[in-house]
Amino acid sequence: MTKKKKEQKVTITQEDEAQARAVLEQYHTIAGKLRSSVDQEQEKAALSTVSSLTEAAQMALLKALSREHHTDAADVLNAIYELSPMKSIHKEARRSLIRLEEVRIYPQWEPSVERLSPIDEIRSAAIMEEANYPARFWKGYVTDSRDVGEVQLMLLWEQGKDYKDVRLLGFLLEFWHDGVKDFFTRIESKRSVERLVEQTSTNTDLVDCSLAKGRRLIEEALAVNKKYGTPIHKDFRLSLSLVNKLVLENPDIPDEEEEEEEFEEEIDDDEISAQLAPFAVVTGFIEAWASEEYDKAYNYLASDSRLREGLSQDEWVERREEWADEAEPEDLKPVFIHELEVKKSGIWLPNPFSRGATNTEKEVEAGWSIELADTIEEGQLPELPQETIFYKETGRHWFWTSYKLVDEPGGWRILDMVDEGKNAQTIAVAELRNRIKNHNKQIEEITRKHNPTDPDALQYIEKVLLHTALALYYDDALIKQDPHDDTTYYDAIGRTVLLRDVERRIAYLEELARQFPEKRGEALLQIGELQVDLSEKYDELEDEEERTEHFQELAEATLRESLTIEDSTVGRIALADLFLNIGDDEKLDEAEDELHHAQTLTSDNEELAIIECRLGSVATEREEYEAALSHYQRVEELDPAHGDTKYNLGSTQHKLGRTEEAIANLKQAIESDPQAIDAYAELFSVYLDANQVSMAREVLEEGIEAIPSTIELRLLLASTYIKENDLRGAEELVSEAEKIDPFDESVRMYRQVLTISKHLPPARKKKSKKR
């Protein structure tokens, strides 16, 4: 590896010092000239006495300016920082600005700078060529393999001078689990592309594909990525802005209703591929059945499957539709799927190698849950198992099943199903405890041998989750057989934390409260807090207002009942948090009352600090910022280590117009927690409101460096470039955000803003520094 050259230290002589002192005497005049400048040429002229100095003399001047506690000195330093062509001077000017910031001296003037890097020059030329020869769709091809769940897609555009070149986008799309599995893009000559198409067609059948159909295929694959949480191919993410422009967000793609109908028929085809692996057959069956796609579910069953009940497809479907009218199944959530024969585990993840064995029978087990309107009566449908546990407020039922598959001429199909959850309830208590113990040992062994940072950590995490899920189903059976052992409930509750299943955790806590009256108060408190979490979850979803309100009301009732058993500080704070989330004036009054009551129940400084912090939130919601500031200052007195204090102080001081104090506190918030996105965003707003655009951008750039995965800070920075009509600077940042999460709503919104902005006439703007 080539070593980085060390920066050469500049030696400053007495002569350099003398030259610097002579210019230092003029800095007020220079600052005045800068403020009266109307363009970059005049700004450079104002700095001519500085730029004419030697590098060493400029260094001496910068150090001297950093000791001048005046905004004029900050303005001159800012101009040098932006306009100097020398890297060493640029860096020293930044250091000097930071020294002035430490004594709360900030520049009040922003230079106008337009620097084009060589890359920007190339981009500019490319933009000019694109304007003269905009890409136009030429043709597309897709492999005739949709029935096996995977297609290759090629979309081609003519572009370049005289449209002699072709932009090729190539996709490998898998519709069962992997989504956008592979991607490439390149520019070729038409002759090269035609050879590629010819070579591809010799190995597989190609059919013509319109741009509209290509877009639908890509969107379907992306939906698969989102559904299963599988990563989108890296090269696709890197090229997302191009794919958006040419395909996904292209406003010129015509509506093709006839083709759309044909496409819908194609993707709704109930025929099942002969190439599906056993795990995919089981996954497909459960998903089709839970989605009320009973025609499709029927086709996953073997010709002599017991689950078909000897019925024709129409009869089988009709019976299930009648059942679904009453049961209203919805919202399938997979827990795990596991092919027993090859001992391959996963959390609803595929096993692409499971088809390698030559056995004519396979067995796959699965854990899953769905919401149903009614409790299950045994024997309703042969494929409907008995729930292992049930949460009445959402109607969610959890199941554990295994499936025997046979290899028929048309591929793997389900011959029979075993209700593993029901069978577990017949196992002796001692054996259940032994099986749970064995799963716990497996987890301990995995975590002892492997670290979360290991390259293959994901597969071991999957194994841990599998053993956790299976142990939890045995907990269900143990609770049914021995409901008076509270340790089983606590073990189960702990496992739901790892599996992130809030509803199931509440179900165990409710049973704990019923079985153990002495633990009811504690259990109700936890249930109430989790119901608050569910209300917040539903509040973020569309069309879930009714459930949001239901869980808010439920949480209030549960927490109030817990307080009748034990009047606790934690319970009062939890109730106040609920009222704060609702946020109307009446509930804010109730939140304040609960917090004042909580103050009477404790003398613990940490708890008192939490209460003061919540009182600060109440005052902030009412826009009573002086009162809020007083509460946050009290938090700092009670518990100096309280995590959000500096942020809360800075944010409130910003609202009160106390800029210097806000900056100081927000900087301390960032220093104590470099991952605090809100602190960077708030400090950015403070600088922006003070018209210190360069400092605002500097804060966001520091935040992005500290938190490389941040979308929010990139989009905030992009907003400053959009405001100045610097679309190239904004494009770079939005593209980076798209690589992190192409599904993020804010990212999509900024992409739309950029797309619209590019079609607007250019506005006169103040030029800004390139990022």
In a domain, 652, yes or no: no
d(C-alpha 630, C-alpha 628), whole Å: 5
Residue 514 CB contacts under 8 Å (≥ 6 apart), including other chains: none
Q: Quick one: three-class SS letters along 328-394?
A: CCEEEEEEEEEECCCCECCCCCCCCCHHHCCCCEEEEEEEEEEECCCCCCCCCCCCCCCCCEEECCC
Higher pLDDT, 63 or 147: 63
Helix (H, G, I), strand (E, B) or coil at 204: coil
The dihedral formed by the CA atoms of 467, 468, 473 and 474, expressed in degrees to the nearest 10: 70
In a domain, 561, yes or no: no
Same-domain check for residues 315 and 222? no
Q: Write out pLDDT tens, residues 385-431.
A: 999 999 999 999 999 999 999 999 889 999 999 999 999 999 999 99
Final residue of a domain: which of 50, 67, 102? Answer: 102
Higher pLDDT, 176 or 555: 555
In this prediction, residues 169-174 reach a mean pLDDT of 91
In a domain, 234, yes or no: yes
Same-domain check for residues 198 and 64? no
Residue closest to 100 by CA, chosen among 63, 74, 72:
74
In a domain, 578, yes or no: no
Burial of 546 per CB tally in 10 Å (0-12, 13-18, 19+):
exposed
Same-domain check for residues 260 and 303? no
In a domain, 701, yes or no: yes
Number of domains in the chain: 6
pLDDT score recorded for residue 606: 93
d(C-alpha 252, C-alpha 261), whole Å: 20
Same-domain check for residues 734 and 672? no
Length in residues, the chain: 771
- Res 766 pLDDT > 70: no
Higher pLDDT, 506 or 185: 506
pLDDT score recorded for residue 7: 47
Q: Write out pLDDT tens, residues 557-597.
A: 999 999 999 999 999 999 999 999 888 889 999 999 999 99
* 231: containing domain: 120-267
Higher pLDDT, 5 or 376: 376
Same-domain check for residues 208 and 220? yes
Final residue of a domain: which of 102, 134, 154? Answer: 102
- Res 379 pLDDT > 80: no
pLDDT score recorded for residue 231: 81
pLDDT score recorded for residue 765: 43
Same-domain check for residues 676 and 728? no
C-alpha 581: how far from chain center: 22
Same-domain check for residues 147 and 262? yes
Residue closest to 217 by CA, chosen among 254, 189, 181:
181
Higher pLDDT, 344 or 393: 393
Same-domain check for residues 160 and 240? yes
d(C-alpha 164, C-alpha 50), whole Å: 52
In a domain, 321, yes or no: yes
pLDDT score recorded for residue 571: 93
Same-domain check for residues 504 and 396? no
Q: Write out pLDDT tens, residues 663-687.
A: 999 999 999 999 999 999 999 999 9
pLDDT score recorded for residue 8: 54
d(C-alpha 390, C-alpha 370), whole Å: 10
In a domain, 544, yes or no: no
Final residue of a domain: which of 392, 409, 424? Answer: 424
Most confident of 97-111, 458-472, 619-633: 619-633
Q: Write out pLDDT tens, residues 287-315.
A: 999 989 999 999 999 999 999 999 999 99
Higher pLDDT, 398 or 70: 398
Residues 683, 706: contact at Cβ < 8 Å? no
Tokens describing residue 353: 């190698």
Mean of pLDDT over the chain: 85
In a domain, 720, yes or no: yes
Higher pLDDT, 469 or 32: 469
Same-domain check for residues 313 and 404? yes
d(C-alpha 344, C-alpha 352), whole Å: 10
Q: Write out pLDDT tens, residues 711-736.
A: 999 999 998 888 888 888 888 898 88
Residues 267, 220: contact at Cβ < 8 Å? yes
Same-domain check for residues 420 and 432? no
Residues 686, 666: contact at Cβ < 8 Å? yes
Q: Write out pLDDT tens, residues 187-242.
A: 788 887 888 888 777 777 889 999 999 999 999 999 888 877 778 887 888 788 88
d(C-alpha 625, C-alpha 45), whole Å: 46
Same-domain check for residues 339 and 391? yes
- Scored b (16 or more CB within 10 A) or e, 96-135 reads bbeebbeeebbbebbbbbeeeeeeeeeeeeeeeeeeebeb
